[in-house]
Amino acid sequence: MRPVRSAIAALATAALSLPLIAAAPHSDAQPDRLRSAAPEGFFVGTAVAGGGHHLEQDYPDPFTHDKEYRRILGRQFNSVSPENQMKWEFIHPERDRYDFGAADAIVAFAEKHGQVVRGHTLLWHSQNPQWLEQGDFSKEELRGILREHITTVVGRYAGRIQQWDVANEIFDDQGRLRTQDNIWIRELGPGIVADAFRWAHEADPEAKLFLNDYNVESVNTKSNAYHALVQDLLKQGVPVHGFSAQAHLSTRYGFPGDLEANLRRFDALGLETAITELDVRMDVPEGGVPTEAQQRRQAEYYQRALSACLAVDGCDSFTIWGFTDKYSWVPVFFEGEGFANVMTDDFVRKPAFYALRDTLKAARKG
Ligand code: XIL
């Protein structure tokens, strides 16, 4: 986050000499909202629930059906990320058919509420449709399929997406490119990553193009692999603009205390950085109600992740992976863990919510 203190001071002075104007419906002048607490130019976002694991739950699509959910989504955040709705299996269900309905609705919602959008994702090993994974395509065909997909999807939303996760999770935890489970890298070789960035940039020259992964919060083997890759891509003139850490954290492990240092070394390469999918899961306690100590520890992780981003110049985008435990992916994917979000099932704010709000407020004050 770059300091904007002088701009804020100028605005404050200007405000004194202006007549009072009635607040617009989505004005940011609401101090209890995360988006209003945030410093100028800082984006605080959430995933928009729908698709993926939600399809197997006994509730209807959250984004389209849950009024309270939508209300909070519009009020609290100034950035949104489709949780599943722009993934291949969702947006490109058959080779010759795209389904833009859900993604269009999210982008329209964002524009109505003065929010930016993070597009997620274009080149990944997971959540690909059967027709693609089992398709038995030639290399030329596959290359054509990826190029057409990127051109079509990025082109459709050109000028309306702030950041794209172009490549998602391309390294394993040992820092090896996923040459087995990533169909693109396996079939087309590592050079396809650079091409994906080039095609995305052609389709939307304004969007900031990111490499995104989990377990890259710290300086470690995996983030080192990204650090090397970025330098290589930049040397080739590939339009890569950002490196982001998902930050799916668990209180089972310590907080990655070198997160800020890690983001800084990417910043030093001239890249933007971002936190894109923060949640902080905990062991489900006996009785099923988190203890105060658990909640405090969780709040501390949220606060430290946000502070790390705020402290780094080019880290202007901070996204939590959903805001209510009601729709979290965590209990479905991590046995025995849960309560990872900043609001309860009933949208009651947890200590983690207040930790974020107060940290944003403090940063806004400079
Ligand atoms: C998760 C979604 O939250 C679930 O709904 C879905 O079933 C699986 O994927 N890294 C990512 C996200 O980049 O897309 C994943 O989202 C979580 C891990």
Residues with a known catalytic role: 169, 277
CATH number (domain holding residue 33): 3.20.20.80
Give the residue with greater pLDDT, 197 vs 1. 197
CB 79 less than 6 A from any atom of ligand 1: no
pLDDT band at 13 (very low <50, low <70, confident <90, very high): very low
The Cα-based distances of 182 to 126, 187, 290 in angstroms read 8, 8, 37
310-345 per-position pLDDT tens digit: 999 999 999 999 999 999 999 999 999 999 999 999
Ligand 1 touching residue 46 (CB < 6 A)? no
Ligand 1: atom nearest CA of 276 is: 13
Whether the per-residue pLDDT at 12 is higher than 70: the answer is no
Q: Which of 329, 330, 341 to mutate to test the pocket of ligand 1 (most atoms within 8 A of CB)?
A: 329
d(CA 72, CA 49): 12
Q: Which two three-digit tokens encode residue 359?
A: 């940290």
Which one, of 61, 35, 60, 36, lies nearest residue 50 by Cα? 61
What mean pLDDT, rounded, does the chain reach?
94
- Given a cut of 60, whether residue 5 has pLDDT beyond it is no
Ligand 1: atom nearest CA of 169 is 13
Using the mean position of ligand 1's atoms as its centre, give its distance from the Cα of residue 263 in Å.
22
Provide the pLDDT confidence category of residue 21 given band limits of 50, 70 and 90.
Answer: very low
Alpha helices in the chain (DSSP H): 5-16, 34-37, 62-65, 67-76, 88-91, 101-112, 130-133, 139-156, 183-188, 191-203, 221-235, 259-267, 292-311, 330-333, 351-365
Say what the pLDDT of residue 361 is: 97
Interval between CA 330 and ligand 1 midpoint (Å): 9
For 338, the domain range is: 5-365
Atom of ligand 1 nearest to the CA of 165: 13
Instruction: Count Cα atoms within 13 angstroms, Cβ side, for 162.
Output: 25
259 CA to middle of ligand 1, Å?
Answer: 21
Q: How far apart are CA 208 and CA 221, in angstroms?
A: 25
Cα 341 to ligand 1 centroid, rounded to whole Å: 14
What is the pLDDT confidence band of residue 366, given thresholds at 50, 70 and 90? confident
Residues 58, 332: Cα–Cα separation, whole Å? 13
List pLDDT tens digits, range 282-317: 999 999 999 999 999 999 999 999 999 999 999 999
| Closest atom, ligand 1, to C-alpha of 321 | 3
Prediction pTM value: 0.93
pLDDT for residue 298: 98
Residues 6 or more apart whose CB falls under 8 angstroms from that of 25 comprise: none
**What's the DSSP call for residue 349?**
B
Tell which one of 80, 83, 222 to mutate to probe ligand 1, the residue whose CB is within 8 A of the most ligand atoms. 83
- Total domains in the fold of the chain: 1
Cβ 215 under 6 angstroms from ligand 1: no
Angle at 150 between CA 112 and CA 98, to 5 degrees: 70
pLDDT at 225 over 70: yes
Report residue 26: phi and psi, to 5°.
-115, 35
Assess whether the C-beta atom of 83 lies below 6 angstroms from ligand 1. Answer: yes
- Inform me whether the pLDDT recorded for 16 exceeds 80: no
Query: What is the per-residue pLDDT for 3?
Result: 58
Q: Which atom of ligand 1 is nearest to the CA of 214?
A: 10
Does ligand 1 have an atom closer than 6 angstroms to the CB of 89? no
Q: Whose CA is nearest to atom 6 of ligand 1?
A: 52
User: 55 and 90 in contact (C-beta within 8 Å)?
Assistant: no
Mean pLDDT for the stretch of residues 149-153: 99
Determine whether the shortest distance from the Cβ of 53 to ligand 1 is under 6 A.
yes
**Is residue 168 in contact with ligand 1, taking CB distance under 6 Å?**
yes
Report whether residue 246 contacts ligand 1, using a CB cutoff of 6 Å. yes
Cα–Cα distance for residue pair 294/269, rounded to 1 Å: 37
Mean pLDDT, residues 38-60 taken together? 98
pLDDT at 28: 46
Residues 80, 110 contacting (CB under 8 angstroms): yes
**Ligand 1 contact, 329 CB (< 6 A):** yes
